[in-house]
């Protein structure tokens, strides 16, 4: 019995050794080039990512692994496997923060979150994550070519977040929850003044404040809108609304939070109305 066990053990070792002989480790450069071939010639991004991951797994901390890790992140991004892209790109930034390609890896993180932003009727966590990751590109790599692209995506993501606030604010306004509406439009006016939604937000503030009977704030919102966006169609609506309610749309209360918000941003007009 003992001899049989020993024989079985030796046979198992022999089989393992035989497998090792039949399937030798592929050199790192060969694996890397296979990944490039799949990426460039076949456009099989998922298969390419696996090849690049194999380089990193079998040759950790080598120069080939560094290159492959970035290509893995890129391949995952192209195949819309965003979680895998973020993981690979974050690992690259952690392991190689001083690399010339670290800016691109950080950009891929932000771009992965950005591409997952949903319409304004859905939760906007991805927009916030995209902004945070893309701001890191600008903060850490301000002179890189990716800083400009990151800023453009940040602007669009901020516009998305402002759109979400507007969507909820309109809902509250239509349901006569005027305080809830004011709070949502206030976020747009104070945090997203450079987005395309700020003009409508000021007009909706006039509408909500008129409904609440707070004419000082209603006419201030209309005045600030007129001072900063005189050609806006939203100003025409706000002007008419406040005027019909007995207010003066060109009179601005400098102590209002609306005036202070625009003065802080350097957007308020020097005109007093």
Q: Over the stretch 181-210, which tens digit does the pLDDT of each residue have?
A: 999 999 999 999 999 999 999 999 999 999
Is residue 18 included in any domain, yes or no?
Answer: no
**Same domain assignment for residues 32 and 56:** yes
Look at the chain and report how many structural domains it folds into: 3
d(CA 84, CA 32) in angstroms, rounded, equals 18
Is residue 3 included in any domain, yes or no?
Answer: no
**Same domain assignment for residues 104 and 139:** yes
Is residue 254 included in any domain, yes or no?
Answer: yes
Is residue 138 included in any domain, yes or no?
Answer: yes
**pLDDT in the model for residue 125:** 87
Question: Where a domain ends, among 48, 76, 96?
Answer: 96
Contact assessment for residue 203 and residue 238, using Cβ atoms and an 8 Å cutoff: yes
**Same domain assignment for residues 159 and 227:** no
**pLDDT in the model for residue 2:** 35
**Same domain assignment for residues 135 and 226:** no
- Which residue matches tokens 């909500």? 208
User: Domain range spanning residue 114?
Assistant: 100-164
**Contacts for 35 with CB less than 8 Å, ≥ 6 apart:** 48, 49, 51, 52, 55, 68, 71, 75
**pLDDT in the model for residue 24:** 42
Q: What is the pLDDT along the chain (273 residues), one digit of tens a residue?
A: 333 333 333 334 433 444 444 344 789 999 999 999 999 998 999 999 999 999 989 998 899 999 999 999 999 999 999 999 999 999 999 999 999 999 999 999 999 999 998 765 666 788 999 999 999 999 999 999 999 999 999 999 999 999 999 999 999 999 999 999 999 999 999 999 999 999 999 999 999 999 999 999 999 999 999 999 999 999 999 999 999 999 999 999 989 999 999 887 655 443 333
**pLDDT in the model for residue 25:** 72
User: What pTM value is reported for the model?
Assistant: 0.79
How would you write the chain as a 3-class SS string? CHHHHHHHHHHHHHHHHHHHHHCCCCCHHHHHHHHHHHHHHHCCHHHHHHHHHHHHHHCCCCHHHHHHHHHHHHHHHHCCCHHHHHHHHHHHHHHCCCCCCHHHHHHHHHHHHHCCCCCCCCCCHHHHHHHHHHHHHHHHCCCCHHHHHHHHHHHHHHHHHHHHHHHHHHHHHHCCCHHHHHHHHHHHHHHCCCCCCHHHHHHHHHHHHHHHCCHHHHHHHHHHHHHHCCCCHHHHHHHHHHHHCCCCCCCCCCCCHHHHHHHHHCCCCCCCC
């Amino acid at each position: 019995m003992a001899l049989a066990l020993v024989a079985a053990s030796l046979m198992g070792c022999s089989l393992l050794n035989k497998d090792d002989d039949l399937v030798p480790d592929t050199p790192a450069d060969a694996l890397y080039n296979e990944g490039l071939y799949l990426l460039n010639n076949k456009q099989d991004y998922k298969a390419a990512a696996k090849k690049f991951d194999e380089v990193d797994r079998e040759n950790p901390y080598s120069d080939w692994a560094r290159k492959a890790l970035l290509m893995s992140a890129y391949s995952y991004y192209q195949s819309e496997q965003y979680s895998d892209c973020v993981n690979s790109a974050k690992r690259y930034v952690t392991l190689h923060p001083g690399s010339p390609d670290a800016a691109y890896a950080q950009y891929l993180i932000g771009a992965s979150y950005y591409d997952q932003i949903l319409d304004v009727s859905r939760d906007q966590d991805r927009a916030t994550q995209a902004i945070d990751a893309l701001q890191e590109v600008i903060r850490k790599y301000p002179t890189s070519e990716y800083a400009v692209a990151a800023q453009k995506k940040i602007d669009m993501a901020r516009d998305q977040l402002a759109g979400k606030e507007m969507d909820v604010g309109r809902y509250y306004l239509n349901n006569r929850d005027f305080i809830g509406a004011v709070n949502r439009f206030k976020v747009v006016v104070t945090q997203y003044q450079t987005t395309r939604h700020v003009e409508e937000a000021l007009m909706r503030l006039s509408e909500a404040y008129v409904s609440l009977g707070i004419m000082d704030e209603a006419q201030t919102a209309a005045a600030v809108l007129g001072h900063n966006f005189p050609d806006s169609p939203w100003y025409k609506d706000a002007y008419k609304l406040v005027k019909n309610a007995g207010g003066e749309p060109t009179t601005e209360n400098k102590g209002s939070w609306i005036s202070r918000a625009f003065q802080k941003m350097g957007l308020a007009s020097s005109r007093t109305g």
